[in-house]
Structure 1
């Protein structure tokens, strides 16, 4: 029974499928964070691969340890950025463990190469059709916020144009004025306006509100 199971699991086609499941499962888990379901499938795929060669008497615990080290290094790369060094070392251990466990490293290299190509295809299709669920969506803004959608980058204060008020702080040239019942941050064109002087809004652009002092008319 065990011999039949081992022969089935170590068959080139079965071994290729198991490696595809293993590689794609772990990669897709990292890309989509599926609560561990894809990672579990990936680990199961690799586990069955090693089980077949272990039952056949080729794989040892040392081979599995090398493979496990590769997994650990890849996971560390996610939390300890190493400019790709941990990823490279992890991949070497990962694939080294797969090759070491096989009875024929040359055949295992061919199987691994085919599995990698198929995994790339599976991952590319998953990214294409499930792009909206990728982890990158947590770090980028998916929608452009426009005024047509009801969003504005700053309060619209055009209504303050030509409004009059009082400087409640010295304007040198920036300060605060009381316009109506609201305290508004304002700026002059460069002139100095003392506290308590009457002012008038002459220009509004976003948050920039320009005012000037209202000077009394001088009778001739």
Structure 2
């Protein structure tokens, strides 16, 4: 039974598919923040990949440790602004663990290359067609809403100008804040603002609400 499962999971086609699921899941979680669902799918894909080679006697605990470090670094990237440093280190650990766990590094590199290329295509298509739907557009900058495109500005947004509130999500630079008792989508001027920080609306353009962090000075 275990030999059959191992042979199936380590087959080049299966291994490539599992790597593809892993890469797409992790990448889309970092880009779109699905609350961990996409990351869970990605970890499952990588996990089955390692399971196959572990059952075959090739993957060691050291390989799993390197892979685990990569997962931890990617999780830290979602809560600690590192300007991509943790993401790069995490990706290196993930791919390094994948290569070390394989019985044939050359075949593993081919499978990884194919999976990486297909992942780029899938993520690009997803970003193009899903960025304006549901929670996806909460974390990306929106297109300019002009009247020639059929949009009209919402005068009620001007009521938020000068109002203060609190960031409900990390603003990187887009996210959600509570202003004047209402949850609204906001953006910063490019700076990162952590969740829970006090913010102030400094600019309103149509439906685009720009905020900045309120720096509270403490008396010495």
Report the TM-score when normalising by structure 2. Answer: 0.62
Match for residue 73 of structure 1? Answer: 73
Q: Which runs of 5+ in 1 are unaligned?
A: 156-220
Deviations 1:3-50 (A, max 9, x none): 111011000000000000011012112223333322221111111100
1:130 has 2:134 as partner: no
The Cα RMSD (Å) is 2.6
Report the TM-score when normalising by structure 1. Answer: 0.62
- Judged with a 3 Å threshold, the aligned counterparts in structure 2 of structure 1 residues 42 and 152 are, in CA distance, closer, same or farther, namely closer
Contact 2:30 2:78 (C-alpha < 8 Å) held by counterparts: no
1:16 has 2:16 as partner: yes
Whole-Å Cα distance in 2 between the matches of residues 27 and 139 of structure 1? 15
Whole-Å Cα distance in 1 between the matches of residues 101 and 37 of structure 2? 26
Match for residue 167 of structure 2? Answer: none
Whole-Å Cα distance in 2 between the matches of residues 142 and 65 of structure 1? 42
How far has the Cα of 1:80 moved from its partner?
A: 2.5
Contact 1:145 1:151 (C-alpha < 8 Å) held by counterparts: no
Whole-Å Cα distance in 1 between the matches of residues 89 and 36 of structure 2? 23
Whole-Å Cα distance in 2 between the matches of residues 148 and 40 of structure 1? 40
- Equivalenced residue count is 155
How far has the Cα of 1:135 moved from its partner?
A: 4.7
Whole-Å Cα distance in 2 between the matches of residues 148 and 131 of structure 1? 21
Whole-Å Cα distance in 1 between the matches of residues 95 and 139 of structure 2? 31
